[in-house]
Amino acid sequence: MSDKSLLTLWDEVRGKTLAVLGGVSEQASLWAPPGLHNSIRWHAGHCYVMVERLCASAIGNEPVAPEGWIELFSWDSRPQDVAPEQWPALQSIVEQLVSQHRRLHATFARLTDDELEVALPASRHQTVRRKIIHALHDESCHCGEMWLLRKMLVQKSKRRGPQ
């Protein structure tokens, strides 16, 4: 039997991420505040890659990601060195997030309690369940970063005034 709480958490976290991305323009999604490098678009792609890599490794699958995304959006990436035209469109990232949500929901639903409690060797997360929860927690944190960037963009446009 699947872990209904894990499925609910997955639905809540990804649902909020998608809600925050709703209505963000392509141009706005590339903005990063002075002194910082991570834009809404980077955070969105990072959510996809991070959840994919952590969850896939926890359950023994290969990560599924569009070509070049792991390098572009990983925790080792350098978004400040990426030209605007090299980023995938925000809509493409959103479509991948939606597709990933459906795919991983089905995967998580098939996992039994015994499979979720398998100990992970050489992992600080100890079990499959904990590593998945860590991935979802990390996405939730990045969702907060995207929400803050949206709020900062509103304030920035208010300071500029009507044009």
Count how many domains the chain has: 1
Q: The tokens of 57 are what?
A: 């490794």
Cβ within 8 Å of residue 5, ≥6 positions away? none
**Domain around 150:** 4-160
Cβ within 8 Å of residue 17, ≥6 positions away? 44, 47, 97, 139, 142, 143, 146
Whole-structure pTM value:
0.93
Q: Calculate mean pLDDT across residues 5-18.
A: 97
Amino acid at residue number 2: S
CATH number at residue 154: 1.20.120.450
For residue 1, is pLDDT > 60? no
CA distance 78 to 137: 22
Tens of pLDDT along 13-66?
999 999 999 999 999 999 999 999 999 999 999 999 999 999 999 999 999 999
